[in-house]
Amino acid sequence: MQEELDKLGWTVKDLAARSKGDVRKVRLAGRLRTETSVAWKWISAELHLGTWTHAASQVAKLKTEPKEQNEFRLE
């Protein structure tokens, strides 16, 4: 997680300041879920994404949107 925060130039405090639907936070959530065994509840709490179901649906949406519509699409 720290690697992604460093890329964005963010600190952990910035996660709380950003909106729940911030696409960069959602992308980070998708990466955490794919590359680790961390639970959705932990991810949503740590990234301040709202409920775990909201976080999961936002990541799923990011995965399915066409690349032309979303430059942050998860591959």
**pLDDT band per the 50, 70, 90 thresholds, residue 74:** low
pLDDT digits (tens, 9 = 90+) for 4-54: 999 999 999 999 999 999 999 999 999 999 999 999 999 999 999 999 999
Phi-psi category of 39—alpha, beta or left, where left has phi over 0 and alpha has psi -120 to 50? beta
Under 8 Å between Cβ of 44 and 51 = yes
Q: Looking at the predicted structure, is the pLDDT value of residue 75 above 80?
A: no
Q: How far apart are CA 30 and CA 59, in angstroms?
A: 6
So what's the pLDDT on residue 53? Answer: 98
Helical residues (DSSP H) of 1-75, grouped into ranges: 2-8, 12-17, 23-35, 40-46, 52-64
